[in-house]
Amino acid sequence: ISPEEMDALTRMLCMLLLFLVQLMAGRETLIAATIETNRTVALYINASRSLAKPIPETMFGVFFEEINHAGAGGLWAEMVNNRGFEAGGPNTPSNIDPWSVIGDDSFLLVSTDRSSCFERNKIALRMEVLCDLEGPNICPAGGVGVYNPGFWGMNIEQGKSYKLVLYSRSSGAVNLTLSLTDSIGLQILDATTIVSSGFTDWTKLEHTFIANETNTNSRLQLTTTGKGVIWFDQVSLMPNDTYKGHGFRNDLFDMVNNLKPAFLRFPGGCFVEGEWLRNAFRWKETIGPWEERPGHFGDVWFYWTDDGLGYFEFLQLAEDLGALPVWVFNNGISHQDEVHTSGIQPFVQEILDGIEFTKGDSNTKWGSVRAALGHPEPFDLRYVAVGNEDCNKPNYLGNYLKFYTAIREAYPEIKIISNCDASSHALDHPADLYDFHIYSNANSVSDAAQRFEGKSDSRPKAFVSEYAVTGSNAGNGTLLAGLAEAGFLIGLETNSQAIEMASYAPLLVNSNNRRWSPDAIVFNSYESYGTPSYWMQQFFIESNGALLLHSTLESNAARDVVASAIIWKDSKGDEHLKIKVVNFGSDVKLQISVSGLEVSSLQQFGGIKTELTCGNVMDENSFTTPNK
């Protein structure tokens, strides 16, 4: 390479790297007692392919857990909260929250009973209307009834359409108005009235609203002006513009998709375990017609989910993202109770059935169920995790071995993930991968990749399935947290011979229901933004399947500076050199030298400057300043 070519290449690279270094320089002023000056760092990169090593195709992905209303009231676009009135469980009286009554008890009485036509969801709403259009007790203008505000307000947009489905029966004639209104019922965004001699039997009612105005804090109303008794059940309102019609909220899907995840770990997390086993995620209860899904109370994160976002939908989500599904299943263990290994076989069979549902041909028992749901081709399931954070519990090892043996025999190609951390000592059981979780302060997270240094490329490899900076360093998503996590991921890249996958946690949070903080993507009913931890991950999109180049750092800054260099291919097959540097100290003078590049590979090149910066490393993004 001529001196002129190298000078141009170095200027191009320094443009990106000095920007990153300047970001990290501000970090140490907050978390170190002293600040060094006049430091020099030399980064030597050898681009020779003979010294390079491949980064796994699966290196960076996403982890979805039903926490913070990430799915119910988030990515899953269902707008009615507690659509089946089942949130109180199968007994009556049930909890109908957040449904509320329009009119006082002189006009109507609202209760629940077990009269629904759906055997797995017997609770229905019973509305006894005491007023009428005429007579001594005249209904107020607008009628009486019930309304649902959705998940902290429904976002109704002018010109868009919304499909309403509900089931109803009545004791007599019906004069029922279905409407979308503002939060107090005065502004009518669209409405329709159903007049009938009555519904003796449960009847499915459908209507498509087309909004004439936009209101981000809307509600759905079911009202009447006719005396009698009317029952409702399974009330659903979905926007008609979900991603590919698959039920995913477009803006949130796009934000996840923009990370180009190699895999999707789902559905938890602690959500898989439950505080008690009776509230664990059970895949068979989350497939099929949504009206027949019983839903369950997520007792770890304290809210009800109707499981509209179920096992099939998670698999569809992975496929839509172009990501490999990683199914975390319950292994007979919750936070508070366990199934002894002697009784674990029914759980094992349930998981074998779940794998057959995913991978089986359409002529198999469970593969045919999947095909009937509209997906005749198998999903590409290659990874399963036996439980979540259960390693030291009394029955984990015994249960794990039962699952491992059965899955290995039936599906030898599937990689099985253990909950037990093998980063510091060898496992006492077989596994293809092991879970590694870290939630800590900025210093600890940025240093955590050191434990993988010197590890061989033999199995089991690490699955860093949950990582994040938490605590005072993190707030609700600070720049500092994102920068420390970037240093951690660079460490994972440089030690990727021992690591197969990594994902941040949690992915999503509804700002009205923070059960955990920080998170990558923050949203409400109508807007969303990424925290610095979200934007940081975009620096690593090209790393999946890239070549990690040999590089060395010479510095008087000890371990304050970390770096990685990769060559990656774009969709056209063109190759690009990308270097990432994180500086954990004060300002440095960075010098870069690149050797081993063939002259023919430098026929044409250019640089792109990408900034992730702010005035203070403790700054956070927000709805008002989403790109602060």
Domain ranges of the chain: 3-52+549-602, 62-77+245-287+304-355+381-543, 100-239
**Distance between CA atoms of residues 36 and 479, nearest Å:** 22
Residue among 291, 308, 287, 307 at smallest CA distance from 118: 291
pLDDT at 91: 81
- In this structure, how many other beta carbons lie within 10 angstroms of the beta carbon of residue 221? 20
Measured between alpha carbons, how far is 604 from 3 in angstroms, rounded to an integer?
16
Whose CA is closest to 260, among 608, 567, 538? 538
CA distance 311 to 266: 9
CB within 8 Å of 502: residues ≥ 6 apart: 59, 60, 61, 463, 464, 465, 467, 489, 492
Is the pTM higher than 0.85? The answer reads yes
Q: How far apart are CA 576 and CA 593, in angstroms?
A: 16
Q: Pairing state of beta strands 174-181 and 108-113?
A: unpaired
Give the C-alpha separation, 91 to 425, whole Å: 49
Q: 72-111 burial, b if ≥16 CB within 10 A, otherwise e?
A: bbbbbbbbbbbbbbbbbeeebebbbebbebbbeeebbebe
Q: Distance (Å, rounded) from C-alpha 83 to C-alpha 76?
A: 14
With beta carbons less than 8 A apart as the criterion, state whether 329 and 283 touch: yes
Which residues, at least 6 apart from 404, have a Cβ–Cβ distance to it below 8 Å?
Answer: 386, 416, 429, 430, 431
Rounded CA separation 567/239 (Å): 42
Two structure tokens written together for 243: 């991603």
- The tokens describing 191, both together, are 């409405």
Give the per-residue pLDDT at 253: 99
Q: What 8-state DSSP symbol labels residue 26? A: H
Residue 274 CB-density burial (10 A; 0-12 exposed, 13-18 middle, 19+ buried): buried
Q: Which residues contact 273 (CB under 8 A, 6 or more apart)?
A: 280, 300, 330, 333, 334, 335, 387, 388, 389, 390
What are the two backbone dihedrals, phi and then psi, of residue 221, each rounded to the nearest 5 degrees?
-115, 140
How many angstroms separate the CA atoms of 331 and 343, rounded? 11
Crossing angle for the helix pair 3-31 and 479-494, to the nearest 10 degrees: 130
The rounded distance, in Å, linking the Cα atoms of 627 and 72 is 26
SS3 letters across 507-547: CEEECCCCCCCCCCEEECCCCEEECHHHHHHHHHHHHCCCE
Nearest to 218 by CA among 181, 190, 187: 181
pLDDT along the chain (628 residues), means of 10: 36 32 28 46 92 97 99 99 92 90 97 96 97 96 97 98 98 96 98 94 98 98 97 98 98 99 98 98 98 96 97 99 99 98 99 99 98 98 98 98 99 98 94 98 93 86 98 93 95 95 99 97 98 96 97 79 92 90 79 80 58 78 92
Alpha helices in 384-496 (DSSP H): 396-410, 442-447, 479-494
User: Please, what is the Cα angle at 409 between 407 and 415, to 5 degrees?
Assistant: 50
62-77+245-287+304-355+381-543 classified as CATH 3.40.50.1100? no
The CB-based long-range contact list for 473-476 (8 Å cut-off, 24+ gap) reads 473/31, 473/441, 473/442, 474/442, 474/517, 474/518, 475/517, 475/518, 475/618, 475/620, 476/514, 476/517, 476/518, 476/519, 476/522, 476/531, 476/620
Q: What is the pLDDT of residue 600?
A: 59
Q: What is the CATH architecture of 100-239?
A: Sandwich (2.60)
Residue 50 burial (C-beta neighbours within 10 Å; 0-12, 13-18, 19+): exposed
Half-sphere exposure of 256 (CA within 13 A, CB side): 35
Beta bridge partners of 161: 210
Give the model's pLDDT for residue 610.
62
For the CA atoms of 331, 333, 334, 336, the dihedral, rounded to the nearest 10 degrees, stands at 180
H runs (alpha helix) in 338-433: 345-359, 365-372, 396-410
For residue 565, the Cα-to-chain-centroid distance in whole angstroms is 29
Instruction: Give the Cα separation of 532 and 500 in Å (integer).
Output: 24
Q: Is 456 helix (H, G, I), strand (E, B) or coil?
A: coil
Terminal Cα distance for the chain, rounded: 40
CA 17, CA 55: separation in Å to the nearest integer? Answer: 21
Are 67 and 510 in contact by the 8 Å Cβ rule? The answer is no
For residues 543 and 568, is the Cβ–Cβ distance under 8 A?
Answer: yes
